[in-house]
Amino acid sequence: MKQKKIVIAFFILLVLILNLSLGLTRLSHYSAVDEPYWIYKRIPKYWKAIKEQKWRHTNINDKPGITVALISGIGLFSVNPLPYKSLRQEVKTPTQTNYFSKINFSLRLPIYLATIIFLLIFFLLLQKLFNTSVALTALTFIGLSPIILGMSLIINPDSLLWGFLPLSILSYLIHQKEKQSKKYLYLTGIFLGLALLTKYVANILYVYFLGLIFLEYIYYFQKKKPFFNYLKKALLDFSFIIAISMAVFFLLFPATWKHSEILLKGTLFSKAFKSTWPIFIGFFALLLADLGINKSRLSSLVMNFLTRYRDLFQKIIGGLILIITGFIFYNIFTGMTIWNFEAIMASPKGGSGFALMDFISKVIADLYALIFGLTPLVFIFFIYSIFKNSFLKNSKKEKFPSVLYFLLFILLYYIASTINHVTDTVRYQIVLYPLASIIAAIGFYQFIETPFIKKYLRFYSAYLIIIALSFFSLYSVKPFYLTYASSILPSRYILNFKDMGDGSFQIAQELNKLPQAQKLIIWSDKGAVCESFIGRCITGFHKNDLAGVHFNYLIVSTGRKSKSLKSHSLLHQQFNFAKIYSSSFPGYKMIILGGRPNNFVKIVSVNKEIAK
């Protein structure tokens, strides 16, 4: 037993070391978009408000991003970023650009270390919910995921949300499984509260947890106790989770102490609930009425009916995911002739009204971004797990209804996003990658436990192969982790148009090597380039910024192509933007991102060749 614990500890340590070996070196060698808002405004504002006890000023963002300020703000003890706020686009000395790197490292490191702690908590909760084999495999799939690592290395609410939200789900499932104590109920509420403090989208868990009450009864408790008794206890627990989450939200968000409406808007009455709240309230009211007046007789009849068809329901959900996945592959390998997923992902926000085919196309595009953000190995076992747990007869020991629960959350997340006119890019659905990885880990465990495979391959031997293959996928895209797309996806396609600045730091370093770089003037479609470039850097298309300026170089990237071509400015009058943004035009220097020729950041020298 002691020897087994040593082996398990070794494997956990190995995964963490591999993650840290690639993550720590990237912290200071990266220039990101959106981060300046946090570094120079929101994080200092939060801590200044705490220091001065101006509680309402802790309302720093509509995300709300409080956990980002709390955790990343630890870095303020070693650096003061504010003197550098206005220097980003101006001429800088090498010493000043080095200090930018120090600022980034200091404020990113606490968030990154928090994600390492997430991995350990994932292991402990998964070990409790399933077994050590599933927990180890999931730890590897999550800890060595390029997309998750890339997100963990920047200052952004999504860098923390991918941990808090799934951990809340796992805690709740453990509580449902055990029910002996309230320990995991407390943990569920705490993680939910932290998730809500990170990003309001986490309030989807209120709806999801209510739904899980019924699923758990159908799959676990139908033969153990009457629905009336079960429901009373389950709704009390549900109310307890809501109360804890709101208490955590209130405690760590001082603006709520003065303005209670912030608490309600951030939890139960979020804008994201605006379109669905009447349905949710109506359902909850009917449920309580049936419970109080009718002792859940009507609900019991419905639950008994659903229990008879629970296997069919599981097949329908699993089959739906598999059919959509099959359609995605068909659409891709026929040249995206039915729906252009890239075009949908390039404009993730906007639109109004409801059109059925538009709705369906966005949900399918969301799944496209998920499955090709998984490494080939994880994707294979993700599909295997869905198929096995939906269609194959398993022994009681091998049954994993949790696969169904996770799939339902994925679908709910996509539907909720689409209703709110948001397409889930890689970053917007970062919380789903850990859940997909857990589904894949269950599939791997079931595969390795089949008698034929078990006869020839032991778990720990297979697990070493899993680590090696996962690390290979991660290392192959170094250091542009957020640009990762599975090798299964044809190289002409791009998965993540909304990267967080990949390639900006490297392009800036190339510019800094040029003679008299400090005297150069560049225009960049990525503001992140400006931070690491020592010369003068201009972004955007504002007339006042561009008038009379003679540029030496233009920096263009695939991720900003759509926005740049739609703009009309002085630059468009001077330069052939269609030519500059073409992947066939190499420019002075081009950096290919994620091994995809159509995904690039490049330096274009200003000369007659690009003039109109």
Least confident of 28-42, 181-195, 286-300, 476-490: 286-300
Band (321; pLDDT cuts 50, 70, 90): very high
Compute the distance between CA of residue 459 and CA of residue 465 in angstroms, rounded to an integer: 10
What single-letter amino acid sits at 493?
Y
Contact (Cβ atoms closer than 8 angstroms) between residue 379 and residue 488: yes
**Quick check: 395 pLDDT over 60?**
no
Distances (CA, A) of 234 to 221, 310, 329, 336: 11, 20, 41, 46
The CA dihedral of 475, 479, 484, 486, to the nearest 10 degrees, is -20
Does residue 301 carry a pLDDT above 80?
yes
Please name the residue ranges forming H helices in 253-375: 255-258, 260-266, 277-294, 297-308, 310-333, 341-346, 356-371
Confidence bin at 350 (pLDDT 50/70/90): low
Which pair of structure tokens corresponds to residue 245?
Answer: 């989450």
Confidence of residue 128 (pLDDT cuts 50, 70, 90): very high
Q: Residue 39 carries which DSSP code?
A: I
What is the structure's pLDDT at 392?
83
Q: How far apart are CA 359 and CA 511, in angstroms?
A: 44
Confidence of residue 96 (pLDDT cuts 50, 70, 90): very high
Give the span between the Cα atoms of 379 and 141, in whole angstroms: 10
- Mean pLDDT score, 501-509: 94
> C-alpha distances in angstroms, 29 versus 102, 267, 484, 539?
10, 37, 18, 21
Residue 352 has pLDDT above 60, yes or no: no
Residue 223: pLDDT over 90: no
The pLDDT of residue 609 is 73
What DSSP string runs through 178-221? H-S-SHHHHHHHHHHHHHHHHBGGGGHHHHHHHHHHHHHIIIII
pLDDT at 2: 82
- Give the residue from 375, 360, 348 showing the smallest Cα distance to 429: 348
Instruction: Give the per-residue pLDDT at 265.
Output: 84
Q: Confidence class of residue 328 from pLDDT cuts 50, 70 and 90?
A: very high
Question: How far does Cα 606 stand from its chain's mean position?
Answer: 38
| pLDDT (0 to 100) of residue 274 | 65
Task: Among 233-242, 367-376, 396-405, name the one with the lowest average pLDDT.
Answer: 396-405
Mean pLDDT is highest, among 108-122, 174-188, 487-501, 565-579, for 108-122
544 compared with 150, residue with greater pLDDT: 150
The residue that leads in pLDDT, 523 or 457, is 523
- 387 or 343, greater pLDDT: 387
Q: Compute the mean pLDDT over every residue in the chain, rounded to the nearest whole number.
A: 90
Q: How far is CA 222 from each of CA 349, 401, 406, 502, rounded to the nearest angstrom?
A: 42, 14, 21, 51
Whole-number pLDDT of residue 502: 94
Summarize the confidence of residues 32-42 as an average pLDDT: 93
Q: pLDDT at residue 353 above 60?
A: no
Average pLDDT estimate for 233-257: 94
pLDDT at 116: 98
Does pLDDT of 351 surpass 90?
A: no
Q: Residue 605 belongs to what H/E stretch?
A: strand 596-605
Residue 603, strand partner residues: 555, 589
Q: If you write DSSP's letter for every residue of 65-106 in order, what string do you get?
A: -HHHHHHHGGGGGT---GGGGGGTTS---HHHHHHHHHHHHH
Between the alpha carbon of residue 152 and those of residues 74, 155, 427, the distances in Å are: 16, 8, 11
Q: Which of 125, 127, 128 is nearest to 163 (CA)?
A: 125
Tell me which residue has tokens 């999550």. 142
pTM of the model: 0.94
pLDDT at 205: 95
Residue at 58: amino acid letter: T
- The answer, yes or no, to whether residue 272 has pLDDT greater than 70, is no
Q: How far apart are CA 105 and CA 72, in angstroms?
A: 10
How far apart, in whole angstroms, are the C-alpha atoms of residue 456 and residue 24? 38
393, pLDDT greater than 80: no
Q: What percent of the chain has pLDDT over 90?
A: 66
Give percent above pLDDT 70 in the chain. Answer: 96
pLDDT band at 275 (very low <50, low <70, confident <90, very high): low
What pLDDT does 117 receive?
Answer: 98
Strands 553-557, 521-524: pairing is parallel
Q: How confident is the model at residue 21 (pLDDT cuts 50, 70, 90)?
A: very high
Beta bridge partners, 611, equal 575
The lowest-confidence range among 90-104, 216-230, 355-369, 592-606 is 216-230
Please give the Cα distance from 385 to 408 (Å, whole number): 14
- Mention every residue, 6+ apart, whose C-beta is less than 8 A from residue 605: 552, 553, 587, 588
Is residue 469 within 8 A of residue 563, CB to CB? The reply is no
Mean pLDDT of 319-347: 92
Average pLDDT over residues 340-357: 76
Please check the confidence at residue 398 and state whether its pLDDT lies above 60: no
Work out the average pLDDT over 431-454.
Answer: 94
Q: Cβ distance 449 to 118 under 8 Å?
A: no
Average pLDDT over residues 43-58: 95
Name the pLDDT band for 612 (thresholds 50, 70, 90).
low
